[in-house]
Copies of this chain bind each other. A is one copy, B any other.
Amino acid sequence: MAKSTSLQQLAIGIDIGGTNTKFGIVDRSGNILFSSEISSRTHEEVEDFIDELYEHLYEMIQTAGGSGRIRGIGVGAPNGNFYSGTVEYAPNLPWKGVIPFAEMVQNKFHLPVGLTNDANAAAIGEMMYGAAKGMKDFIMITLGTGVGSGIVANGSLIYGHDGFAGELGHTIIIPNGRLHEGTGKHGCLESYASATGVRLTAIEMLSKTKEPSLLQNIPLDEIDSKKVHDAAKAGDKLAKEVFDFTGQVLGLALANFVMFSSPEAIILFGGLTKAGDFILTPTRENMEANLIKVFRNKVKILVSHLREADAAILGASALVWEMKDA
């Protein structure tokens, strides 16, 4: 495909989350020209999922001036592998095994495709357009349905020898702790410091106390992290304790990550950060309490200031500008 480079100033970003997939067309300065989303959960076959993505994006591409204006597609996906372009055994997605996702998208769209872990994509987005601008050492943690992470050291994303580095949500923080249904492991960070984790903590705490709580008015299967946050805002003691406990586990985990790569900052992103100081204060306190002296009072915990929907698409699209042969 011979294309005029001057026209190829747009990139497609696709972010596959545990619940929804966000996608859009982005210019080099980080302006999102068009965007939309579909469910990540309703397609049993990955081919059908890609077909639906194509339908939506085809229209956007035409409106943006045709595929000649698009330089490539960047995809962020859970368990996405930068080297192979595959999505492998993603615990939070309906498609099992090893999926050659980048190749499938490339065959469908006839455009170059770069793929990485969704949280790695978010980290690149923060480095190019967000809270990590100018930083050479930081860790990005996404606190959504699950917990993802992207680690930047010496100015480069750490991919590891096989492209799978940065699965901090699966590190074991509480040995023999809460079961993670997707992996069968006990006590990983994701079992506690995700929207799912907050929900489970609230249910556990409610079952163990007779103390009155606003959360007792909600049927157990309707409790979610937003309702816990609403209760905390209304002054509910138990709801606050849910966030205190979540911050205790997250803070301990962050201390361990700091003692690994000594970042300038940890950038938090995703639904749980909406709980603001309810979760940030205990997280900071517990991180500091678990750090040895050389690391104390040095590491910033920042909340991403990119809009959530934007950040996912921006991060994925940023992969395009990093592609060598795009």
Contacts and interface: CB of A to CB of B under 8 A. Distances in A.
Interface of A: 79, 88-89, 91, 135-137, 151, 153-154, 156, 158-168, 170-175, 183, 185, 252, 255-257, 259-264, 290, 292-295, 298
Contact of A167 (B156, B162, B183, B292): B292
A154 B159 CA distance: 8
A296 B185 CA distance: 13
A137 to B, nearest CB: 4
A292 B162 contact: no
Contacts of A79: 294
Given A160-B137, A164-B295, A295-B164, A172 B261 contact: no
A166 B262 CA distance: 8
A159 B292 contact: no
Contacts of A167: 259-260, 262, 292, 294-295
A41 B174 CA distance: 36
Given A160-B261, A161-B264, A165-B260, 15 more contacts: A151-B261, A154-B156, A161-B262, A161-B263, A162-B262, A165-B262, A166-B262, A167-B292, A167-B294, A171-B255, A172-B290, A173-B175, A183-B292, A183-B293, A260-B261
Contact of A164 (B154, B158, B294): B294
A50 to B, nearest CB: 22
A185 B260 contact: no
User: Residue among A151, A163, A294 with the most chain B CB within 10 A?
Assistant: A294
A197 to B, nearest CB: 16
B164 A153 contact: no
Given A153-B160, A256-B256, A165 B91 contact: no
Contacts of A160: 137, 153, 261-263
B259 A170 contact: yes
A153 to B, nearest CB: 5
A172 to B, nearest CB: 6
List the 5 closest pairs (A to B, CB-CB), nearest first.
A160-B262, A165-B262, A161-B264, A137-B161, A171-B256
B292 A91 contact: yes
A88 B294 CA distance: 7
Contacts of A166: 260-262
Contacts of A255: 171-172
A261 B260 CA distance: 9
User: Residue among A154, A156, A185, A298 with the most chain B CB within 10 A?
Assistant: A154
